[in-house]
Chain A
Amino acid sequence: MWLTVLLALIGLTEGVGLLLVAQDSSELAGIIRSCGRMLANAWVIYGLIVWREVPWVRRFGVLLLGTAAAQLLALVFWTMGWTDMVIATAGAYAMAVIFYAGLWLIRILLSPGVAVFGVARTLIDEALRMKVAMVFIVKVAILIAVFPFIIDQDDFLKYRITSFLTWSLMATSALLSLMTLFLAIATISREQVQRQIFLTLTKPVNRAEYLVGKWLGITLLNLLLLSVAGAGIYAFTMLLNAQPARDDADRMAVQSEVLASRHWIEPTPPNPDELRLMYDALLESAREDDPERYGSPGDPPDTVTPADRNDLQQKVMLQWFSIPNLSWKTYRFNNLEEARRFNQPLQLRFKPKLAGSSLNGFVYIGMRINGRMYQKEGITTGEGFLKLAENNFHVINIPPDIIDERGGMSIDIYNPAPGGQRQPVLNFNPKDGVEVLYRVGGFEENLARTLVVIWMRLVFLAMLGLAAGTYLSFPVASLVCMLVYFTAAGNAYLAESLQYYAAFPKDSVPFFQKILWLISRVIQYVSEGEFYDLFKLVIKLIASGFMLVTPSFGDLNPTPLISDGRIVPGHMLYRAVVWSGGVWTGFVGLIGWLIFRSRELARVTV
């Protein structure tokens, strides 16, 4: 009725107005139209008040009030001359509208009479109406809207966009992770304490469906929130991109190094055996120095423990990325066929560093690309060397036609003695000190991949929280989940720390011998009163066991990649979807279900 009257009112006044205009009574037509608009507005307000309980009217009313509030706020900022805040308000409003529309879509999706959908839908209502989740959602929206304006406005545009992407994605990921854990734990533990679960599980819903429904609700909510956050991040990135750059190079860097999706190729030695020969030589040297640890000279190479092998390999890589003075080193970049096929320019990105004092903060290098000396105006000295700021990343653009028939490219780097002054050893970081990058896609696709990886992490966390909540109370489950979360996030760092924390037998030692070693070591520590060493050993055992069953999120961190304009690789996407979203989630869910299915939900009440 509301809509009918509204449409009739508009139609009638507009119709009369048109008739009056046709009869040259424009003034009267204007008055009639104005009256009609006033009446229509009054009718809209009347409807919003009278039919406010009708769901779609309420939704419309909220949207209308939100729009009015955003406009008012923007007007206030505009009046005060805070243009940035006007933009931030508009962005936050747009995110809110997307969120509202997405929520409506999810409700429609979950409206069929299916038990799992019913549980999922109620979970979403709980998340939004119980305020806990809303706090996190509002925080994400505000942070994304405010970040672009708290970054140093005088910095290079490239770094401003990089900083925004890093911080906004980190904040989104961290806040949604916490929200997911708290929501998952709270929903299931609170229902057991407050006994709503009695009513749900006395309906034709089995416990697996109940868990899946809860998980589905959180997962869909996360999808919605990530979509909103993604839209906000994209919009504000574009907004930053529209701002003036420092210079042409800065603008070009933004387009080619940040708002891009680039493959990167790490160098390999021209001779495939070079690294192995270096390793063998280093191992022999180590065995002569410490035969107890590395074995006797001449022993087979695989008798070294994985940890020691890894240690030696790192040393080899450091050595390979070091160039003594007056020496050349060749780095080969293979698998560049794709760049040649799509005619994409290559970017040689490197960060030179000297092992000793530099000459006025500069480092001098000689460079040949596929045998041709590279020179560039402005940075090439009279001796033909490149003069570069030390410990800074430098990018050299190389046309794709330089790629050879084998689909690769060789770079020779020379450590010279400019003006007769010898430079210390020249180093590059083995991880990203020298590499070649080329564009394979746009920023949008990469952002989507990033969000998928983050979503898959949240998918796992949702199930982890639910599984913990099936048996543990809210505080205990929260502590356990936080422990798992931080262990997963810092898995690589923890593994390295534990390696040096307490002595332990080599990996090659049989399990039974390890047990005997442990017993003897415990007896030794107790008899000698070395209780601190005993404590460290126990801690190491517990931590190692815990890490064994905890997934590693270190391999699922796309934020540094997208911030640096690198493509989120397919293997990371695969690992996120299959392992985090599939295997780990399924495993944790299975454990949760096994506990939950046989659990008595009621307590003693007599």
Chain B
Amino acid sequence: MTQASTQHADPTKTPLSQDMVIKCIGLTKVFKDFWLRNRVKAVNDIELDIRKGEVFGLLGPNGSGKSTTIKLILGLLHPTAGRIAVFGRHPRDVKNKQRIGYLPEETYLYPFLNAYETLEYYARLFHQKRGIRRPRIETLLEMVGLQHVARRPIGEYSKGMQRKIGLAQALINDPDLLILDEPTSGMDPIATADVKRVIVSLAERGKTILLCSHLLSDVEDVTDRVAIMYGGKVRRYGQIDELLEQHDRTMISTPALDPQTEERIIRALEAEGVCDTAITRPRQRLETLFLNIVAEAQAAGVVTSGAQSGGTIATFLATGDESADGGDDLIDQLTTKTSSSAVDAPHSDTGHAENVAKAHEDEVIGSLTNNKDEPTKKPHGTAQPVEEQADTGLIDSLIQKKDPPKP
């Protein structure tokens, strides 16, 4: 045993707080070659605490040690030094596995099984009885939009389709801890949005999600906290809002303003001694644009031979209610699919957009009157800019106030 490992307390033997799901102390992994010489230090003395109910992002470029850390957490690798506890137990404890769902960085599925058989296999590994596993499989296949190819061998699937079935298998046990390693790689933006919706939905139910990706925008949309790794070490670690906040800049967001109003705002700010000022039009995100176009096309009934977008989130995942997965509930779910999809999709719901606009309005008022309030916590999957007709009267009244900025 190395010195490092002896210095750390064993988290599996020390009492953890109730809401601690994963705890890594001084975690180190060194890969050795045939002659037992140190070859690669993949993970180097990292500390991680992941709490119940949070979406935790593990970020880093390729080869930074993210996947190795996940494999250590899953017990597929043994730490060279340091300790790990998952739900307060050793990572290889089989009792833990009952509560974990795992989607690896590549979809390691049996090519000779079809999608239905694949999910049935993994459901059996969770000792699920036929009465539970069959409705779950049907619902999951519906959710990932593969029910129409459920009897085709996985070996004939595209990478994106394999990722979808990989996600479905990770959810088959309604896990308390979901570990997703590059979950959206190979997926189109529609499927990516579906994955994010699943993550958000599970997080709202208090599930813990460890998301490992180098697609930063995906992580940014859904995570509460992140750890950024490079060279096997954690370089930054904390709340995503805190990490991303630029403390030396202030941004005011309003509906579109006419040039005269913009000019007046700049002058007002210059009068306050703020010189480095720029007013720009915010750009819509490409993902949002793409999804809106697809949603419009689907609404217009355009037929496609490509992949279908997923259905609603499986009821047993969205509500945790096992009985709601089969029979009439499934039919209800299917019949209300369009409306519930619209509710879930943040970019196509008018009511939701109004709420967002109202929140923005309040922010503008708050920012200009009090200069800066504590940032409100970003709701999952929201906070997209909304274009509306400018209310110049409101702006005028705000400019007239000219309250002194708070430090």
Contact = CB atoms under 8 A, between A and B. Distances in A.
Interface of A: 53, 111-115, 117-119, 121-122, 125-126, 129-130, 194-206, 600-606
B179 to A, nearest CB: 8
Which 4 residue pairs spanning A and B have beta carbons closest together? A118-B124, A129-B112, A53-B151, A203-B125
| B interface, size bucket | 35 or more
B401 interface: no
B129 A113 contact: yes
A546 B194 CA distance: 58
A202 B100 contact: yes
B110 interface: yes
Nearest to A209: B94
A76 B125 CA distance: 48
A199 B102 CA distance: 7
A213 to B, nearest CB: 9
A312 to B, nearest CB: 52
B39 interface: yes
A121 B128 contact: no
Contact of B97 (A117, A118, A129, A203): A203
A196 B127 contact: no
B49 interface: no
Given A114-B127, A115-B124, A205 B97 contact: yes
A199 B94 contact: no
A121 B118 CA distance: 11
A206 B94 contact: yes
Given A122-B121, A601-B76, A196 B68 contact: no
A115 B108 contact: no
A458 B373 CA distance: 75
B65 A118 contact: no
Nearest to B123: A113
18 contacts: A111-B130, A113-B124, A113-B128, A113-B129, A115-B127, A125-B117, A194-B108, A196-B109, A198-B102, A199-B102, A200-B125, A202-B100, A203-B126, A204-B126, A205-B94, A600-B77, A606-B42, A606-B65
A195 B121 contact: no
A113 B98 CA distance: 14
B237 interface: no
Nearest to B133: A113
Given A204-B126, A205-B94, A606-B68, A199 B31 contact: no
A202 B97 contact: yes
Nearest to A54: B151
A396 B27 CA distance: 82
Contacts of B100: 202
B77 A602 contact: yes
A254 to B, nearest CB: 46
Contacts of B77: 600-602
Contacts, number: 111
A246 to B, nearest CB: 51
Contacts of B150: 53
A601 B92 CA distance: 12
Identify the interface centre among B39, B98, B104: most chain A CB within 10 Å of its CB.
B104
Contacts of B129: 112-113
B157 interface: no
Contacts of B121: 118, 121-122
B76 A202 contact: yes
A122 B110 contact: yes
B125 A204 contact: yes
B232 interface: yes
Contacts of A115: 124-127
Contacts of A126: 110, 112
Interface string B87-117: 0000000110110101010101110110001
B92 to A, nearest CB: 9
B51 interface: no
Contacts of B65: 606
Contacts of A204: 94-95, 97-98, 125-127
Contacts of B63: 606
B74 interface: yes
B108 A600 contact: no
Contacts of A203: 97, 122, 125-126, 173
Given A203-B97, A204-B94, A606-B42, A198 B108 contact: yes
A11 to B, nearest CB: 31
Given A126-B110, A129-B153, A199-B108, 19 more contacts: A113-B128, A113-B132, A118-B122, A196-B109, A197-B108, A198-B74, A198-B102, A198-B104, A200-B125, A201-B75, A202-B75, A202-B76, A203-B122, A203-B173, A205-B125, A602-B68, A602-B76, A603-B31, A604-B39
A199 B104 contact: yes
Interface in B126-172: 126-130, 132-133, 150-151, 153, 169
